[in-house]
Amino acid sequence: MSESNWSVPETEVVQRVRDRLDADGTDVLATIVGVEGSAYRRPGAKMLLDDEGGVGSITAGCIEDDLLAAAEAVRESGRPDRVSYDLMGDDADDVWGLGVGCNGVIDILLEPLDKTYRPAVEAFDAGRDVAVLTVLSADGGSPDGPEQLGDRAYYYPDEGHLRLPDGSPADEWPDEALAEPAADLAERGSGDVVTVEGLDGATLTVFIDGITAPADLVVFGTGHDVGPVVELAERTDFRVTAVGFRGAVDLAARFPEAHRTVTTSPGELDDALDIDDRTHAVVMTHNFVDDRLVVETLLRSDAPYVGLMGPRDRFDEMLEAFDDEGTTFDEADLESLYTPVGLDLGGGSPYQIAHSIVGEALAVSNDRTPGHLRQRDGHIHDRVDVDASPSP
Amino acid sequence: MSESNWSVPETEVVQRVRDRLDADGTDVLATIVGVEGSAYRRPGAKMLLDDEGGVGSITAGCIEDDLLAAAEAVRESGRPDRVSYDLMGDDADDVWGLGVGCNGVIDILLEPLDKTYRPAVEAFDAGRDVAVLTVLSADGGSPDGPEQLGDRAYYYPDEGHLRLPDGSPADEWPDEALAEPAADLAERGSGDVVTVEGLDGATLTVFIDGITAPADLVVFGTGHDVGPVVELAERTDFRVTAVGFRGAVDLAARFPEAHRTVTTSPGELDDALDIDDRTHAVVMTHNFVDDRLVVETLLRSDAPYVGLMGPRDRFDEMLEAFDDEGTTFDEADLESLYTPVGLDLGGGSPYQIAHSIVGEALAVSNDRTPGHLRQRDGHIHDRVDVDASPSP
């Protein structure tokens, strides 16, 4: 597994899955369904094993090579399989990881990538949270139930009930028992195994893979300082939209990392963009009037983050201009406004500024108070398992 | 000027200058020597105008095109020149910048890039602060003095006196009057114009360009999670050294963005690396014993930042191991230790983790307390001029 392979943003893994689904290839999707002890990634981490090797990663190189062999078997049989690796202790670390941090037990679901997974990709692309429910085992019950390893259903929090991959109602799934954990995991974007009783009395063990849609980052501006913001935001898994006014420049060419580009006018944002509670905006048109119109629209929206470039007194001028036109914002409205934009990291180069802006958007999107982790109380839930080396 | 051009890290501008000096080409170096009102970059910002166009930038596209013409004249005459652009007000903004944020008066020194600039590049490469003193004007005095526009001397804080570009003593420069401001600006990495009396009675106007050597970021580890740290650190102008042990992998191939790679052993760090008060270290070998040996060396050094990947309790185990071997660290020693490493931004993907680590190193290197800029009191010195749009 190459370094670049390990480093791909999550969004690129999903894009690759989509491409392979379209290509109708015979690929294998590997998903961590259980982790004991410490391993690099958490349940739900995925790796697509296609004819070019693997995209994405499950551990920092501990078992990927071995996984390729297991995947080959699944590709040939066309049937899903579960593999478990016990990487406990120093020996395992030596055997598997050359000290790159491999211990713990990892339980992995291997399945042929087929159209039953397409709804997950479509939800991700649509910016819609979803939970993918996959049967790991079923004991007892009738043969009509969802009893086979790999059988699948979907749960959309915005719908509230299970559906089969083809969109039809999942009548044979225990909707009531699964809806609540599915809703929770979809919102948190994590995965877990639940055991419930099937409608036919079977004991169902189901892996629920909560996939939270990526946060949107919308950048307003076409100046040469926008590029680094787009690039770093894409790296950190924001779905980036670059917005320009008056069609002055070829946005797609200028911002190749952007998920999409939109050319519109400050007065038509509501029509041109879907601004909602997962929209993180960075306003840097460097044009006072444009910025003011954009900020006015954003402060009236549900956008949780409105980063405005420029010194504080410039925004004070903006507030006066709002007053003059009879527009007023109360403190609650201004909660989402971050100006001067960015974290206080120092440094004035374009990339340093972009780093501070993207870091701030990331913190807000994850509801964190940016500061040193060493000063944070409690567990660092999604970081505590980063280190994986055994104690001596 | 292309977006990628604008986005190049400062270090790449210096590298380009070095390459062009080696190539002995007829290029022109443009340096902002004065700024009134708001413009994108500060005094000292540079742009190299070579036969391929320009590398680096001094405003967000406001005057670069015009600058190319002025540079052409300097290239032909072979003599330095000063140009001043008055971009005050809306009109100027329309004329020059299409609203990308151009106002204020910008005073620019244009000079043929020649060997008198090489000491600046060498100091930068050597990790040595330096001040480049360039005569802007001289009234009166004898013709022997440093009176010509473009005449140059250097000041190294670690030496304490002026030198000519060829290394000889700058006997004809008013050392006493210039040493103090030069030392101050070199340390702060900013530029300013000073007027002093020359030894021959001339009134010397000198631009002092303080160039602070880039901070070093040394990453210990060769795992697949290291790559994003190296990449993002390079983007934010750290001089990155990737350190691996036991020659397990081809570091240069794995970490192409690294300024250099070092293969050594945990016991030989002092010999293999120059660890000093500008060394920022990230320890992520994922091997407990290696990490412990590296951290022990770093905590004994002047390194201001020692980021250790892994949960806090892992470091507590490390402290116990230190105790067992009779090594103790007091609170002052542990000031520089940051574990868990990184800023609390949330997110667990390799790039998100790398973003939080590099952001923390950047904040420490700039002596900032990371947090939202909107909550910071006082001026954001190196950010206040980011916005450049005129008030309506």
In 3D space, the residue among B138, B173, B142 whose CA is nearest the CA of residue B155 turns out to be: B173
Contact flag B391-A314 (C-beta cutoff 8 Å): yes
Instruction: Note which residues in 117-176 of chain B have CB less than 8 A from chain A.
Output: none
Q: Are strands B28-36 and B46-50 parallel, antiparallel or unpaired?
A: antiparallel
A247 touches chain B (CB under 8 A): no
What is the nearest CA distance from A17 to chain B, expressed in angstroms? 18
What's the pLDDT tens digit per position in B147-204? 777 899 999 998 989 999 999 999 989 999 999 999 999 988 888 999 999 888 889 9
Given A309, A317, A387, which is nearest B286 (Cβ)?
A387
Contact flag A232-B321 (C-beta cutoff 8 Å): no
Mean pLDDT of the region B360-385? 76
What is the nearest CA distance from B216 to chain A, expressed in angstroms? 14
Which chain B residues contact residue A312 at CB under 8 A?
A: 374
Q: How far is residue A263's CA from residue A261's CA, in Å, rounded to a whole number? A: 7
What is the nearest CA distance from A139 to chain B, expressed in angstroms? 35
Q: How far is residue A200's CA from residue A197's CA, in Å, rounded to a whole number? A: 8
Chain A, chain B: beta-carbon pairs less than 8 Å apart: 302
Neighbours of B156 (CB within 10 A): 18
What is the nearest CA distance from A179 to chain B, expressed in angstroms? 25
Computed on alpha carbons and rounded to an integer, the radius of gyration of chain B in Å comes to: 23
Residue-level pLDDT, tens digit, chain A, 392 residues: 333 344 456 777 788 888 888 887 789 999 989 887 655 567 888 888 887 777 776 765 567 778 888 999 999 998 899 998 876 554 434 333 333 445 677 889 999 999 999 999 999 888 889 999 999 988 887 777 677 778 999 999 989 899 999 999 999 899 999 999 999 999 888 889 999 998 888 899 999 999 888 899 999 998 878 999 999 999 999 999 999 998 767 999 999 999 999 999 999 998 999 999 989 999 999 888 999 999 999 999 999 999 999 888 889 999 999 999 999 999 999 999 999 999 999 887 789 999 999 999 999 999 999 999 998 855 444 443 333 333 33
- What's residue A47's pLDDT? 86
Q: Two tokens at A49?
A: 């094993």
Contact A374, A358 (CB under 8 A): no
B224 touches chain A (CB under 8 A): yes
Instruction: Note which residues in 326-385 of chain A have CB less than 8 A from chain B.
Output: 337-353, 355-356, 358-360, 362-363, 365-374, 376, 380, 382-384
DSSP string, B4-31: HHHH--HHHHHHHHHHHHHHT---EEEE
Contact flag A371-B371 (C-beta cutoff 8 Å): yes
A7 touches chain B (CB under 8 A): yes
B319 touches chain A (CB under 8 A): no
Q: Residues B123, B129, B130, CA angle at the centre, nearest 5°?
A: 70
Q: How far is CA A245 from CA A279, A290, B61, in A?
A: 19, 9, 17
Contact flag B383-A340 (C-beta cutoff 8 Å): yes
A42 touches chain B (CB under 8 A): yes
- What's residue A248's pLDDT? 66
Contact flag B383-A353 (C-beta cutoff 8 Å): yes
Contact flag A363-B346 (C-beta cutoff 8 Å): yes
Contact flag B355-A362 (C-beta cutoff 8 Å): yes
Given A223, A232, A347, which is nearest B382 (Cβ)?
A347
Contact A7, B228 (CB under 8 A): yes
The more confidently predicted of residues B235 and A43 is B235
How much is the mean pLDDT over chain B?
84
What's the pLDDT tens digit per position in B2-41? 333 444 567 777 888 888 888 877 899 999 898 876 555 6
B293 touches chain A (CB under 8 A): no
In 3D space, the residue among B369, B359, B346 whose CA is nearest the CA of residue A367 turns out to be: B346
- What's residue A256's pLDDT? 94
pTM listed for this prediction:
0.80
Mean pLDDT of the region B330-358? 92
- Tell me which amino acid residue A337 is: L
Which chain A residues contact residue B369 at CB under 8 A?
A: 344
ipTM above 0.85, yes or no: no
Tell me which residue has tokens 């990308």: B100
Which chain B residues contact residue A311 at CB under 8 A?
A: 380, 383-384, 386-387
Which chain A residues contact residue B5 at CB under 8 A?
A: 224
Q: How far is residue B360's CA from residue B338's CA, in Å, rounded to a whole number? A: 9
Instruction: Note which residues in 64-93 of chain A have CB less than 8 A from chain B.
Output: none
Contact flag A222-B57 (C-beta cutoff 8 Å): no
- What's residue A194's pLDDT? 95
- What's residue A310's pLDDT? 85
- What's residue B37's pLDDT? 61
Structural domains for chain A: 3-113 (no CATH), 127-211 (no CATH), 216-373 (3.40.50.720)
DSSP string, A61-115: SSSHHHHHHHHHHHHHH-S-EEEEEE--HHHHIIIIITTS---SEEEEEEEE--G
What letters, b where the CB count within 10 A reaches 16 and e where it falls short, cover B234-243? bbbbbbbbbb
